[in-house]
A and B are shown apart, each in its own frame.
Chain A
Amino acid sequence: MKVKAKAKGDITKVKMMFKNPMAGPEEAKKKKIKSEFITQITAVYNGAVVYEVTTSGFVSKNPLFKFEFKGGKKGDKLEITTVDNNGKKESKKAKIK
Chain B
Amino acid sequence: MDRRKFLGMGLAAFAAVVASKTDLSAVDFRATKPKAWEAVDSASAIKELYGTGGLKESKDLKLKAPKLAENGGSIPINIKSSLDLESVALFQDANPRSAVAVFTVPANGIVNYDLRMKMRKTSKVTVVAKGKDGTLYTTSRNVEVSIGGCGG
Contact = CB atoms under 8 A, between A and B. Distances in A.
Interface in A5-60: 11, 22-24, 26-27, 30-31, 39-40, 42, 44, 48-56, 58-60
B73 A61 contact: yes
Given A52-B26, A87-B13, A58 B97 contact: yes
A2 interface: no
B96 A50 contact: no
A92 interface: no
Given A51-B106, A52-B104, A87 B150 contact: no
B42 interface: no
A52 B15 CA distance: 19
B26 A56 contact: no
Given A50-B109, A55-B100, A42 B16 contact: no
Given A87-B12, A87-B16, A60 B118 contact: yes
B113 A44 contact: no
B13 to A, nearest CB: 4
Nearest to B96: A26
Nearest to A31: B151
Interface of B: 9, 12-17, 19-20, 24-30, 37, 73-75, 92, 95-97, 99-104, 106-110, 112-119, 149-151
A53 B101 contact: yes
B20 A59 contact: no
Highest count of chain B CB atoms <10 Å: which of A24, A48, A56, A89: A56
Contact of B106 (A30, A31, A52, A66): A52
A22 B69 CA distance: 19
B102 A53 contact: yes
B80 to A, nearest CB: 10
5 contacts: A42-B24, A54-B29, A64-B116, A67-B113, A69-B108
Contacts of A75: none
Contact of B110 (A11, A86, A89): A11
Contact of B115 (A44, A49, A64): A64
Interface string A84-95: 011111000000
